[in-house]
Amino acid sequence: MTDLKKLLSQMTVKEKLGQLTQLNARVFIDTQADITGPLLNLKLTKEDLTTVGSVLNYWKPSEMVAIQRQHLKDDRNKIPMVFMMDVIHGYRTIFPLPLALGCSFNTDVVTECTKMAAREAVAGGVQVTFTPMVDYVRDARWGRVMESCGEDALLNSTMGAAQVKAFQGDDLRNKENIAACVKHFAAYGGADTGLDYSPVDISEHTLREHYLPAYKACIDAGVEMLMTSYTAVNGVPSNANEWLMKKILKDEWGFSGVVISDYSAVKDLVEHAITPSEKEAAEIAFNNGVDIEMVSTFYMSHIEELIAEGKISEEKLDEAVLRVLELKEKLGLFEDPYRGACETDDSEVWLTEENRDIARRAAEECAILLKNDGTLPFSKDVKKVALIGPFADTGDIIGFWACSGRPSESITVKEGLRRLLPGAEIIVEKGCGYEFNDTDKSGFAAAVEAAKGADAVILCLGEPQDYSGEGNSRVDISLHKIQLELAREIVAVNKNTAALTFSGRPLVLSELDETVPAILHMWFPGTEGGNAAANLLFGEVNPSGKVSMSFPRATGQCPIYYNRTKVIRQGPTGPHTKNVASFIECDMTPLYSFGHGLSYSSFKYESLELSSDKMGVDDKVTVKITVHNESDVPGKETVMLYMRDVFASNARPMQQLIAFKKLHFEAGERRTVEFTVDEPMLRFWGNDHKKISEAGEFEISTGYADHLIHTKSLWLEK
């Protein structure tokens, strides 16, 4: 074990500030010869680089090894760097997007995928991942919804905590584990109009009720790091927000891990017009608890002077540096600074059959059967299949933030079908493109001709994978017009058609829903997406995904989410209605609500029973829900438990998920699923910003958000 306090006592202030600075790997790789380019722009010398404590954005493990080796040669204190990367949904073997993982409602799937990603990332030289992103989301126009698990705080919290535990394991010295960094604190997902980097303006009640719980769940799970947000929350950027960073994070939650800014977010305090001064930006961020400054170098440039002026204490500096050193010690970097990194850039742990199998099964579990009139599953006895659309034969289905994943290594839908149906003729026609401004119909005729003679038609539609992710906000999230026109022409000549849709966000699929008999939504499924799609379409696997973020009927409904408070004066849809809450053009409900998802099985919810219709604050009530798989097809069903506080001092959601279980049912199986309800599950954030419950009636229900099946009253007595 390294004596960290002794090491700290030997360091100069400049060396300490280096530990609190994270730079892009390109600075080390591209400026070895002289002080030009990035170094000059950052106002750094080559000597300054010898003190830097962490690095991000290296793309090959050999780069990581070379940087670490040179650093240990140059640093007089021999303090290893820590290497960080965005391993969002896989390192080299890519699994479905986090938003898709939320649709699995299965922490076992999340855990297995995350552990696989950690093993691959270690070989890639990654020691810390900037994951999980648990920003609560309601507006599908925001591109980064793909990184969240959706619009429910409980689901987001459950999946985020599962990822933290899977990444970190029980011992960070174990080289199958890496440290996790939860992000973005706080409420980045509430960006105004879904525009990335824009301000967030929400009440403290809404912040505490919906946006903060998932961060807290990850901290309770033991996450080692936390990343602040770019955005201003109620007028104050996170890096300057004392209420968020001190009162909530440190005082209320007791977080003692490392806090890192987002990319250049300390510099962004100047962009936010909080201060015109680099020096003051450094002072504000550091005194607000930001330990590591990512990419910008205000700390290295100004904190030594701020200490001399008495505006920052060296004691606080030492505390921040010690937190960073302690993380390095936990990771075992002082003993093994390379920590399993592969120097050859070709690790035997990447893209193994086992890893591909994990990715495929995850893609199968996350896909959602949105609509089915009986068309699916297709028969495997088909002789001719028409595979049509811009996603029919492309590896670009791994999604944004795919780290080191490569489209060339992913299984296309065409390849998946040919594997599953070796005796069938697979005719592939692109038909059209997927760009929003695409108007080329020259491929329509060949696509229609292929569909005419096919036993089954698969329409592969969606948005490009680079239309979602950071910086990719959209004004209109409708499926592109040319794809809808292609769908209409195809269905006109062959009714035995199913749409296979791909996206990084919920799309407006209203017109497609009216056009095609069946829709299977894959999100961006990852490396094994084509095999998963084939298995699902032809009944090798039974779909079991459920919507984790509502699909609107029209973009104008955004933000739309299931757990709204009651809309008063709600009236019928249509023009010429007076003094009622309604849209002229469409219904107020989503097209596909939170919790929606069909199956090839037929599940009947026969009853919901409570062990008592009354409970005190120290009591627990057992809820029993009897579910029957009436079909001859085995399948998985996510049984959900909802609550509504009938009357309260604060307007409460009309539905609120309080528990869920995903279970396998054999053909014909009837099962009673049990949940336990206690008083903490009925609490909410009151008007004095304390978490409370109030005596009175609660409705306990099952089903999904816009289709609650059984409801019983439960009275809380105090």
Rounded CA gap, 401 and 465, in Å? 10
193/311 same-domain check: yes
Three state DSSP letters for 78-136: CCCCEEEECCCCCCCCCCCCHHHHHHHCCHHHHHHHHHHHHHHHHHCCCCEECCCECCC
Q: Please write the tens of the pLDDT for every residue from 1-35.
A: 789 999 999 999 999 999 999 999 988 887 543 44
Assessment of whether the complete model's pTM goes beyond 0.85:
yes
Token couple for 450: 């292929």
| 557: confidence class by pLDDT, cuts 50, 70, 90 | very high
Contacts of 697 (CB under 8 A, 6+ apart): 646, 647, 713, 714, 715
- 352 within some domain: no
297/159 same-domain check: yes
Rounded CA gap, 180 and 257, in Å? 11
Token couple for 286: 């550091």
262 in catalytic set: yes
534/615 same-domain check: no
The whole-number average pLDDT for the span 183-195 is: 95
Rounded CA gap, 188 and 133, in Å? 10
| Nearest alpha carbon to residue 164 among 221, 115, 112, 113 | 221
Number of domains in the chain: 3
Under DSSP, is residue 577 helix (H, G, I), strand (E, B) or coil?
coil
Are the C-beta atoms of 212 and 161 separated by less than 8 Å?
Answer: no
Rounded CA gap, 292 and 87, in Å? 19
- 142 within some domain: yes
Token couple for 4: 């960290």
181/235 same-domain check: yes
CATH assignment of the domain containing 193: 3.20.20.300
Rounded CA gap, 526 and 532, in Å? 10
528/619 same-domain check: no
Contacts of 163 (CB under 8 A, 6+ apart): 110, 111, 114, 131, 132, 180
Token couple for 164: 């933290």
| Nearest alpha carbon to residue 174 among 348, 351, 339, 350 | 339
| 582: confidence class by pLDDT, cuts 50, 70, 90 | confident
526/631 same-domain check: no
95/235 same-domain check: yes
Catalytic residue among 48, 86, 262, 291: 262
220/90 same-domain check: yes
Are the C-beta atoms of 262 and 183 separated by less than 8 Å?
Answer: yes
- 555 within some domain: no
- 234 within some domain: yes
pLDDT at 273 over 90: no
Going along 373-417, which residue ranges are E strands? Answer: 384-388
Are β-strands 691-692 and 684-685 bridged in parallel, bridged antiparallel, or unpaired? antiparallel
Question: Which of the residue ranges 24-33, 80-89, 267-276, 602-611 would you say has the lowest mean pLDDT?
Answer: 24-33
| Nearest alpha carbon to residue 521 among 501, 538, 496, 506 | 501
| 587: confidence class by pLDDT, cuts 50, 70, 90 | confident
398/310 same-domain check: no
- 672 within some domain: yes
Rounded CA gap, 168 and 160, in Å? 12
Q: What is the CA radius of gyration of the chain?
A: 27
Please identify, among 528, 549, 570, the residue that sits at the C-terminal boundary of a domain: 549
Please identify, among 279, 311, 330, the residue that sits at the C-terminal boundary of a domain: 330
Rounded CA gap, 240 and 272, in Å? 10
Under DSSP, is residue 492 helix (H, G, I), strand (E, B) or coil?
helix
| 39: confidence class by pLDDT, cuts 50, 70, 90 | low
229/81 same-domain check: yes
Structural domain range at position 508 = 358-549
- 2 within some domain: no
- 81 within some domain: yes
133/261 same-domain check: yes
Token couple for 712: 């019983």
CATH assignment of the domain containing 698: 2.60.40.10
Are the C-beta atoms of 120 and 349 separated by less than 8 Å?
Answer: yes
- 112 within some domain: yes
What is the average pLDDT value for the chain, to the nearest integer?
A: 95
The whole-number average pLDDT for the span 533-539 is: 98
Q: Please write the tens of the pLDDT for every residue from 109-161.
A: 999 999 999 999 999 999 999 999 999 999 999 999 999 999 999 999 999 99
The whole-number pLDDT of residue 32 equals: 47
- The fraction of the chain above a pLDDT of 70, given in percent, is 97
Question: Which of the residue ranges 144-148, 228-232, 574-578 would you say has the lowest mean pLDDT?
Answer: 574-578
Q: Find tokens 């026109």 and name the residue.
A: 485
Are the C-beta atoms of 358 and 37 separated by less than 8 Å?
Answer: no
Token couple for 97: 């997007």
Are the C-beta atoms of 431 and 444 separated by less than 8 Å?
Answer: yes
The b/e string for 585-599 (b: 16+ C-beta within 10 A; e otherwise) is ebebbbbbbbbbbbb
CA atoms within 13 A on the CB side of 533: 36
439/523 same-domain check: yes
